[in-house]
Amino acid sequence: MSSAHRAEALQAAVSSRHVIGMAQGIAMERYGIDQQQSFELLRRLSSTTNVKLRDVAAQIVETRVVPHERASESVDD
């Protein structure tokens, strides 16, 4: 049983990482920022909206839109 739970957790982690990476790519293309800056943008969005990072990323991937309220702010290097 525990190996099945570990396999599920690993699959969820890989899926979350993939979605976060896609959202980073969208932000990078949209705003001309690098990988580190795009992750910081996602992290800030997650923090300020009190939404899990993977859920913020999933929303961006689904809509292809970075939420307006944070996107217009500059991202620190």
Instruction: Identify the H or E element spanning 63.
Output: helix 53-63
Q: Distance between CA 27 and CA 39 in Å, rounded?
A: 9
Q: Which residues of the chain have pLDDT under 70?
A: 1, 68-77
For the whole prediction, is pTM greater than 0.85? no
Domains of the chain: 2-71 (1.10.10.10)
pLDDT at 75: 53
Quote the tokens at residue 46: 């997650």
State residue 55's pLDDT score. 96
Predicted local distance difference test score (pLDDT) of residue 50: 95
For residues 68 and 12, what is the distance between their CA atoms, to the nearest angstrom?
28
Give the DSSP letter of residue 64. S
